[in-house]
């Protein structure tokens, strides 16, 4: 009897047409042998961000620059169950589509990807979606000075007074300079800089008169 049962279970597993289930994006990428080359949010910064999002369960809209394979987007979709996410990315990595596929399967109709250079696409999107505002803005795109500066500056179009803006990768000199310029020019206000391990980021608000 046990012998028959064993083969029955084996047959169900072998011939099952159900698609495999995955624990999370990382598990999906590992099982599908997708190799990711660019870094993403992780470790203490990820833990900090999750805690921050848990304190704001009513976020309904999040915008980010820098999708990469979607790890930060997954954090937003998972921990802000009411939120839609709009992510801007230049699309330089082929694996972006794998991440997008998994997130669309797992969190249907909640993620939009806007392809292209953020120096152009952010303004274009804002013009095409007049008045669209977000609760949380996450800036984690180019590490070049001018692009990082324009990313911070242009994303203000999506902010209200109470919108939080987080700028990642302040451990990188060019990004830090871009952030400092935005503080000096009064684009940002009430910012707090965090440093954990080798990573650093800032969170604050946009300045409105």
Ligand X SMILES: C[S@@+](CC[C@H](N)C(=O)[O-])C[C@H]1O[C@@H](n2cnc3c(N)ncnc32)[C@H](O)[C@@H]1O
- Which residues are at the interface with ligand X (CB under 6 A)? 38-41, 65-68, 71-72, 88-90, 92-93, 117-119, 140-142, 147
CA dist 119 and 154 (Å) reads 8
CB 64, min distance to ligand X, A? 6
CA atoms within 13 A on the CB side of 72: 28
Residue closer to ligand X (CB basis): 90 or 203 = 90
Residue closer to ligand X (CB basis): 64 or 188 = 64
CA dist 179 and 168 (Å) reads 10
Residue closer to ligand X (CB basis): 88 or 125 = 88
CB 17, min distance to ligand X, A? 32
For the record, the structure tokens of 10 come out as 């084996």
Going by C-alpha positions, the residue among 134, 148, 200 that lies closest to residue 171 is 200
> Measured at CB, which residue is nearest to ligand X?
40
Q: Which segments of 16-42 does DSSP mark as H helices, in order? A: 25-31
Q: What are phi and psi of 27, to 5 degrees?
A: -65, -40
CB 57, min distance to ligand X, A? 21
Which DSSP letter does residue 4 get?
H
CB 108, min distance to ligand X, A? 20
CB 89, min distance to ligand X, A? 5
Residue closer to ligand X (CB basis): 171 or 190 = 171
Residue closer to ligand X (CB basis): 117 or 207 = 117
Going by C-alpha positions, the residue among 174, 181, 172 that lies closest to residue 201 is 172
């Amino acid at each position: 009897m046990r012998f028959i049962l064993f083969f029955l279970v084996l047959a169900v597993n072998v011939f099952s047409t159900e698609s495999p289930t995955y624990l999370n994006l990382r598990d999906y990428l590992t099982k599908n042998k997708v190799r990711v080359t660019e870094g993403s949010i992780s470790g203490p910064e990820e833990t900090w961000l999750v805690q921050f999002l848990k304190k704001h369960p009513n976020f309904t809209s999040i915008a980010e620059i820098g999708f990469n394979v979607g790890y930060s987007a997954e954090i937003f979709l998972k921990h802000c169950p009411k939120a839609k996410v709009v992510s801007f990315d230049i699309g330089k990595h082929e694996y972006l589509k794998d991440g997008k596929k998994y997130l669309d399967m797992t969190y249907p109709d909640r993620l939009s990807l806007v392809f292209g250079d953020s120096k152009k696409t952010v303004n274009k999107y804002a013009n095409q979606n007049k008045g669209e505002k977000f609760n949380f803005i996450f800036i984690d795109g180019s590490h070049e000075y001018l692009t990082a500066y324009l990313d911070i500056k242009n994303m203000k179009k999506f902010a209200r007074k109470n919108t939080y803006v987080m700028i990642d990768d302040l451990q990188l000199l060019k990004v830090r300079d871009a952030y400092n310029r935005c503080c000096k020019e009064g684009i940002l206000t009430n910012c707090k800089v965090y440093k954990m391990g080798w990573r650093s980021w800032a969170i604050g608000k946009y300045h409105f008169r």
